[in-house]
């Protein structure tokens, strides 16, 4: 549920990156919410046409409300795979062309299912590194190659990564402030 709420929290944020988990959980909860609201509307249709229209209204409002965060999380998902968000528009347009739409949908699905690009890219730091399990993994010496100075090895017990407590972005260079959100870093 937290992943679904995170996408709503970043309602119209077209910058940055989103993990696969955020994208697919958002899609799953949208499907379930739309299904539940539609079933309620269908029960209204069983009794009368006017009641059905009234009970379908929340489903229609929800579908309209979810368009912007759905596009935003899709663009951030493309950014996470180191691709431009404009590809979403390209695949949407190609999806309207008969004969090309199936191929376009498959390629789009493959891109959305790919793993995150390792490390930071032009769209921001890897969002997986804000996850405590990945942060613990980042303490491994092999992961030190992703620091700003590949020859720099952490001292014993020190992680090359620090996680911002405000936004969860990985901090690879020592700084008093988070490079992602500007919040002060705690020692």
What do you get for the CA distance between the two ends of the chain, in Å? Answer: 31
Between 179 and 2, the more confident residue is 2
Q: Find the radius of gyration of the CA atoms of the chain.
A: 21
Whether residues 153 and 80 share a domain: the answer is no
pLDDT of residue 150: 42
Whether residues 106 and 131 share a domain: the answer is no
Whether residues 50 and 133 share a domain: the answer is no
Whether residues 12 and 102 share a domain: the answer is yes
Whether residues 108 and 133 share a domain: the answer is no
By percentage, how much of the chain surpasses pLDDT 70?
74
Whether residues 102 and 154 share a domain: the answer is no
Whether residues 43 and 135 share a domain: the answer is no
Judged against a pLDDT cut of 80, whether residue 166 lies above it is answered with: no
- Domain count of the fold of the chain: 2
Whether residues 21 and 92 share a domain: the answer is yes
CB neighbour list of residue 70: distance below 8 Å, 6 or more residues apart: 26, 30
Whether residues 104 and 132 share a domain: the answer is no
Whether residues 136 and 76 share a domain: the answer is no
pLDDT in tens, 19-60: 999 999 999 999 999 999 999 999 888 888 888 889 899 999
Question: Which SS3 state, helix, strand or coil, does residue 157 take?
Answer: coil
Q: Is residue 179 part of a domain?
A: no
Across the strands, what pairs with 111? none
Its domain, for residue 149, covers: 127-171
């Amino acid at each position: 549920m937290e992943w679904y709420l995170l996408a709503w929290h970043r309602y119209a944020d077209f910058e940055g990156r989103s993990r696969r988990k955020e994208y697919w959980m958002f899609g799953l909860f949208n499907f379930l919410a739309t299904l539940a609201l539609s079933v309620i509307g269908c029960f209204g249709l069983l009794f009368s046409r006017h009641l059905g229209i009234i009970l379908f209204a929340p489903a229609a409002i929800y579908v309209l409300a979810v368009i912007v965060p759905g596009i935003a999380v899709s663009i951030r998902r493309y950014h996470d795979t180191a691709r431009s968000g404009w590809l979403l528009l390209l695949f949407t347009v190609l999806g309207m062309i008969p004969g090309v739409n199936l191929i376009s949908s498959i390629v789009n699905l493959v891109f959305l299912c790919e793993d995150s690009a390792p490390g930071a890219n032009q769209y921001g730091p890897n969002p997986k590194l804000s996850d405590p399990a990945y942060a613990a993994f980042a303490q491994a010496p092999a992961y030190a190659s992703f620091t700003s100075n590949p020859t720099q090895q952490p001292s014993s017990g020190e992680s090359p990564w620090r996680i911002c407590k405000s936004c969860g972005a990985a901090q690879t260079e020592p700084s008093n402030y988070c490079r992602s959100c500007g919040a002060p870093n705690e020692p």
